Amino acid sequence: MRDWTADEVKSIAERLRRARVSAGFERATDAVRKFGWSYSRYMNYENGERAVPPKQAIQYAAAYGVTVDYIYFGKEPFLNQIVGMQPLSSRVLRRIPILALENMTDLELITSGLEPAAAGAVPVFDQENLPSRAVFIEIADKSMSDPREPVSFEPGDKVLIDLDAAPSPSDFVLALVPEEKAALFRLYREVSRAEDGSIVIELVPLNPNFRTIRIANPSSGQIIGVCRSIHRVFDLTPGKQRQRMG
């Protein structure tokens, strides 16, 4: 990245602010929440305390519907003034609620077919294959971690749950288990049929240090949804192997 003068950094900051307001975000906090950015980092750029690196300039330009040249040099028009071009905020981002596994209120809303009231959300690209009703959960323990398995879930991973999908054997599912006073994320396994014809299932952890839970009837548990994807960012800091969501 080139060395910007103090005056240039201030001009970049002002154009970044104008682009934000033009995109419909009166307050910086609104944009930060919409796109999941770091508030302190963003404000360093918009306050002119640091020059905007190219990677961030590309993100901000796409989000606000302007060109990178506009942010850096004041050149080129706003993209949303060009026919057929829209800001990223209105075009490809979708915010999916993130659900705490111990939040019984939201869990019960979901099992009733209602939308969760969770305040947090994860911004994702709104692709056609995203479920129409979905939530994220964050893996909090090592129950689904086993390096010998082809798929393993680590603490900090965020898992997209399709709330309308019916489970099949070997799916990873989210299940409400009242005795646990929380939801569990486990491997789904059908083991038998009860006398009334209902399927008896087991919720199997990948980590053998955790116990398997059996659901024999609706009162002992209920499947909420099926895993569709894992969202993970790798921490590439030398000496660190932990994987985290950005």
CATH number of the domain bearing residue 43? 1.10.260
The last residue of a domain, from among 91, 123, 155:
91
Q: Say yes or no: 219 and 105 in one domain.
A: yes
Q: What is the mean pLDDT of each run of 10 residues along the chain (246 residues)?
A: 85 93 88 87 94 87 82 68 47 72 82 72 65 88 89 88 91 91 93 84 95 89 90 48 37
Q: Say yes or no: 99 and 18 in one domain.
A: no
CATH number of the domain bearing residue 154? 2.10.109.10
Contacts of 68 (CB under 8 A, 6+ apart): 54, 57, 58, 61
Q: Say yes or no: 97 and 153 in one domain.
A: yes
Domain assignment present for 1: no
Contact 133, 161 (CB under 8 A): no
What was the pLDDT predicted at 83?
A: 40
What was the pLDDT predicted at 212?
A: 96
What was the pLDDT predicted at 181?
A: 84
Determine the structural domain holding residue 17 and report its residue range: 6-91
Q: Say yes or no: 100 and 187 in one domain.
A: yes
Q: Say yes or no: 187 and 123 in one domain.
A: yes
Please give the model's pTM, rounded to 2 decimal places. Answer: 0.58
What was the pLDDT predicted at 102?
A: 85
Cα–Cα distances (Å) from 159 to 94, 174, 188, 210, 228, in that order, read: 16, 10, 15, 19, 7
Work out how many domains the chain is built from and give that number: 2
